[in-house]
Chains A and B, each alone.
Chain A
Amino acid sequence: MPIQRRTFLAGTAAAAAAVSAPSIHAAAKDKQYRTALIGSGWWGMNILREALAAGQTKVVALCDVDSDRLEINAEEVNELSGETPSVYSDYRELFEKEDIEVAIIATPDHWHALNTIAAINAGAHVFIEKPTGHTIGESQAIVNAAAASDRIVQVGMHRRIGPHHVSGMKFLKSGGAGEIGMVRMFVHSRGGEEKPTRNSEPPENLDWEMYCGPAPLRPYCGRIHPGGFRNYLGFANGTLGDWGVHWLDQVLWWCDQQSPRSVYSVGGRPIKGEAILTDKEQTTDAPDHQIATYEFDDFTAHWEHRRFAGKGPEQTSIGCYFFGTKGTFHMGWRDGWTFYPADEKKSIVHEDSQLQEPDGHNLKLLWADFVRAIETGSKPVAGIEIGHQATTLSLLGMLSLKLGRSIQWDGNSIPNDPDAARLLRRDYRGDWVYPT
């Protein structure tokens, strides 16, 4: 590939952080890290179980705005470890009262920056779920906070370390698919028309005001919590801001963290129908399909998702196609990776995935890498710069979609375009202060 490349964030604080050596902690092998989980939902507990299984975690605190989640999960932690964690509904109180060495952040996206920066400031190493922000400025603020500290931040992008991803990347980088001119990232799932859901009083166990936090307060409905926040753009960024981060990261990994020079996205809700939000009822507001095109110096990447009928004629509905001169390489999820050679005489090359169940992930490896980084000062495989860059690309796609036109990107900012640059951040509600 050509040598001239535009790389992400060259010369920024993040790059500086990447080369500065974190302080090395001489820790005994049986060191137990006092750990807090902020956001004790489905995925947060998946991470916490891996942390416990790895054997160096003492769960001292759980935090959630849903007291049911706290009760169920405190009970499970007790069953798994014999420890009874303290429970909190406000992460600020938790960090004030507890001495936390490791914080796991698994709240909805709009909370990630405030939670993570509070954790770093409290002296904790952080395992944060992707995306690293709801707006790009938040993600940048985490990068800044991490750079100003000696704390390790690992982003939950387990596909950076999953065995089939590692071997597939090796295959690609060693030219197995030839020269690659285009990449298509895609995640398709089932969907259809959406009827509005009636608003209701938040359940008694939920602190809805705190759930919304810095995001605009909207009426509660049962589709949002538990588990529905990703489809509400006040709290998250739809499929591109969720799955998109994983697959954009695969592209960034493959191209050695190059940066696109422009991004253009279109999409909408022709099937789900117009987003509705009234005093009485509401729908989700994330797009039911979206295309985002990323123009790199020497290749083009595009994302697409559709939530109509799920599977189409393609053999797979999730992953990345790397289109090369020697054939097409598919990096998948449960289906591992597969290379389809252009030369029909050559046979298809395939490698199975090696995932952990339930839910098909590689958190065990990612957590081990995190602890190794804490203990030895090694660079985490999915550190904050890596997470920030993948998150940024996904959010640039959302930004272009909201703006309705393409945007330029110089690796760090949107140049000469104040209307677009304004969307790199958003106003916070009430007394919450947007981080810098």
Chain B
Amino acid sequence: MNTFIRRPVLSLSIVALLLTPLPAEDWFRWRGPNLDGISAESGWDCDWPDGNAVIAWRATVGIGFSSAVVAQGRVFTIGHVDGHDEVHAINESDGTVGWRFQYPATLDDRDFEGGPTSTPTVDGDHVYVLSRAGELFCLSVATGELIWQQSVAEQADVRLPGWGCSAAPLVLEDRLLLNIGAAGAAVDKKTGELIWSSEDRESGYATPVVLPDSDPPAAVFASGKAYVAVEIKTGRQLWSERWLTSFNCNAADPIISGQRMFLSSGYNRGAALFELGKDDPELIWKSKEMKNQIHGSILYKGHLYGLDGDMESGARLRCMDWETGEIRWSEDDLRPGGLTLAGGRLIVLTEAGELVVSPADAAGWRPIAKTKVANGKCWTGPVLSNGRIYCRTVQGELVCVDCRS
């Protein structure tokens, strides 16, 4: 199979995007078009007079932690309502319902409020949804019609992790990479047919990340006990970095930049930076100062911006030097619930539903705008797309904040 020879083109297009600020773009997948948690949009501002932003609309999407993705004028997310998970396609312009698609699911609120935890992925005319029970759905973006569904956990004959599947499907060429089993699985994106799978062990909760410039093309999967590099074509394991975390809760996507990989988990696990080469990763530094429990950090201009510590007891927003692991600053009283980055600014949604914007600057946290947008607990990262910021509460309020310039 030669389906991955277009990889260099992808890299080039990322560079191009980074160099050219875009007025608006669809945030069609988890961590955005560039898979780095950073929006290239420039056509937005946070000029909120007296702390009042323009709330374009509010929608009710059900209990859960799924974040929003945006494509073709629609906003997609998942929530739990009365024995079902519901995929919502909401019209970006006015918040009206485009369509809804339901599948039976339990709330499964062990240790948290429950509901779906993964984010849909849009690829062309299709939106892919992975349920906590390991059921994969392919829906029509336009109509919500079910194109196919596959029980990937059953097909691959692998156990589910304690809190169920939570990674977003990653579309690569002809296939979807799913974080399920010891080191992921791949299915045909047209049929859902299993291409390869891995051993029957718990997966972690992070979304797979492509290993840049790898030969053969490879992706890194967070398993319950390690971060594993796997050949995309075959599922063959290239290397594995053992990374034990309480409850097998490896939930932050690895961050790979150049030949280096940053890993971080909560539950007092901490972080580490590794040098990647032909063989196993080599440790550069290790630190307890950045413990990403459920949100991955964002790497921007040589610094990591991330949430340190377990959410339940209150995480801290921190800036960490990529090269050394030193903490540049720490904002301890903000109670952040999630973050994104756009136009050189950090956009933080606090647990209490306040949006706070500050330049993403290693020199310090200097909020330039604040606005209270949501009522309820927010643990899902905000998403900026086409000049609008989407904020979601656990109980299922989705708020569209119109920030178009």
Of B10-18, B36-44, B243-251, the stretch lying at the interface with chain A is B243-251
Compute how far the CA of A227 lies from the CA of B112 in the bound complex, rounded to whole angstroms. 14
Scan B260-297; emit 1 where CB is below 8 A from any A CB, else 0: 00000001110000000000000000101000000000
> What separation, in Å, do the CA atoms of A192 and B159 have in the docked complex?
25
B246 touches A72 (CB 8 A): yes
Judge if A358 is at the interface, Cβ distance under 8 Å. Answer: yes
CB–CB A226/B247 < 8 A: yes
Complexed CA–CA distance, A45 and B268 (Å): 10
Distance of A71 Cα from B201 Cα, bound (Å): 18
Interface flag for A173 (CB, 8 Å)? no
Is the C-beta of A223 less than 8 angstroms from some C-beta in chain B? yes
A223 CA to B202 CA, complexed, in Å: 14
Across the interface, B162 reaches (CB within 8 A) one of A45, A69, A222, namely: A222
Within 8 A of B (CB), among A79-105: 79
Q: Are B244 and A72 in touch, CB under 8 angstroms?
A: yes
Residues of B within 8 A of A190 (CB): 109
B309 x A358 contact (CB < 8 A): yes
B225 within 8 A of A: yes
Complex interface residues of chain A between 209 and 239 (CB less than 8 A to chain B): 222-223, 226-227
Q: Which residues of A contact B247 (CB under 8 A)?
A: 226-227
* Closest chain A residue, CB of each to CB of B288: A79
Interface size counted on chain B using CB atoms at 8 A: 23
B159:A359 contact, CB within 8 angstroms: no
Chain B window 105-121, contacts with chain A (Cβ cutoff 8 Å), 1 for yes, 0 for no? 01111100000000000
Q: List chain B residues, Cβ under 8 A from A195.
A: 106, 108
The minimal Cβ–Cβ distance linking A47 to chain B, given in whole angstroms, is 14
In angstroms, how far is the closest chain B Cβ from the Cβ of A285?
16
Contact of A68 (CB < 8 Å), options: B108, B110, B225: B225
A419 CA / B313 CA spacing, docked (Å): 45
* 8 Å CB contact of A76 from B109, B159, B201, B268: B268
- Whether the pair B109, A192 counts as a contact (CB closer than 8 A) is yes
* Chain B residues with CB under 8 A of A76: 268
Contact across chains for A226 and B313 when beta carbons are under 8 A apart: no
What is the total of A-B residue contacts with beta carbons within 8 Å?
Answer: 35
Q: Would you give the shortest CB distance from A272 to chain B, in whole angstroms?
A: 12
Bound complex: CA of A42 vs CA of B310, how far in Å? 13
Interchain CA distance A76-B159 in the complex, whole Å: 29
Which of chain A's residues have a CB closer than 8 A to the CB of B286?
79
Q: In the assembly, what is the distance between CA of A79 and CA of B202, in Å?
A: 27
B313-A359 in contact (CB<8A): yes
Q: Taking the complex as formed, is A23 at the interface, i.e. its CB lies under 8 A from any CB of chain B?
A: no
Contact yes or no, A223 B110, CB < 8 A = yes
Q: Let me know if A203 is at the binding interface, CB within 8 A.
A: yes
* 167-199 of chain A: CB within 8 A of chain B: 190, 192, 195
Q: Determine the main DSSP class of A at the interface with B.
A: loop
Residue contact A42 to B288, C-beta cutoff 8 Å: no
A200 CB within 8 Å of chain B: yes
Cα distance, A68 to B248, chains bound together (Å): 9
Which listed residue (B201, B288, B310) contacts A358, Cβ 8 A? B310
Q: Which residue of A lies closest to B247 (CB)?
A: A226
- Contact B246–A42 (Cβ < 8 Å): yes
Query: What's the Cα separation between A76 and B314 when bound, in Å?
Result: 22
Measured in the bound complex, the distance between the Cα atoms of B112 and A190 in whole Å is 9
Contacts of A42 in B (CB 8 A): 246, 267
Q: Which of A68, A200, A204, A357 contacts B244 (CB 8 A)?
A: A68
- Measured between beta carbons, the chain A residues less than 8 angstroms from B246 are 42, 69, 72, 226
A72 to B246, CA, bound (A): 8
- A327 CA to B244 CA in the complex, in Å? 51
Chain A residue nearest to B159 in the complex (CB): A200
Given A79-B288, A200-B159, A223-B110; A72-B245 close (CB under 8 Å) = yes
Q: Please, what's the 1-or-0 string for B86-118, where 1 marks a CB less than 8 Å from any CB in chain A? A: 000000000000000000001111100000000
Interface bits A37-71 vs B (CB < 8 Å: 1, else 0): 00000100100000000000000000000001101
Among residues of A, the one whose C-beta sits closest to the C-beta of B161 is A222
* Chain A residues, CB < 8 A from B268: 45, 76
User: Which residues of the partner chain A approach B106 to less than 8 Å between Cβ atoms?
Assistant: 195
Query: In angstroms, how far is the closest chain A Cβ from the Cβ of B11?
Result: 35
Q: Which residues of A contact B288 (CB under 8 A)?
A: 79
> Quick check: A71 and B162 within 8 Å, CB to CB?
no
CB distance from B139 to the nearest CB of A (A): 26
Distance of A200 Cα from B157 Cα, bound (Å): 13
Roughly how many angstroms separate A68 CA and B269 CA in the complex, as a whole number? Answer: 13
Output the nearest chain A residue to B242 by Cβ-Cβ distance.
A71
Note all chain A residues with C-beta closer than 8 A to B309. Answer: 358
Chain A residue numbers with a CB within 8 Å of B107 are: 192
B residues in contact with A200, CB < 8 Å:
159
Name the CB-closest residue of A to B248.
A68
A45 to B107 CA separation, bound complex (whole angstroms): 31
Contact residues of A with B, CB < 8 Å? 42, 45, 68-69, 71-72, 75-76, 79, 190, 192, 195, 200, 203-204, 222-223, 226-227, 357-360
Interface, chain B (partner A; CB < 8 A): 106-110, 159, 162, 201-202, 225, 244-247, 267-269, 286, 288, 309-310, 313-314
Q: Which 7 A-B pairs have the closest CB atoms?
A: A358-B313, A72-B244, A222-B162, A68-B244, A195-B106, A71-B244, A226-B247
List 6 A–B pairs whose Cβ atoms lie within 8 Å, in order of A's numbering.
A45-B268, A72-B244, A79-B288, A195-B106, A223-B110, A226-B246
Beyond the given A203-B202, A358-B309, please list 17 additional residue pairs across the A-B interface where CB-CB is below 8 A: A45-B268, A68-B244, A69-B246, A71-B244, A72-B244, A72-B245, A72-B269, A75-B244, A76-B268, A79-B286, A190-B109, A192-B107, A200-B159, A222-B162, A223-B110, A357-B314, A358-B313
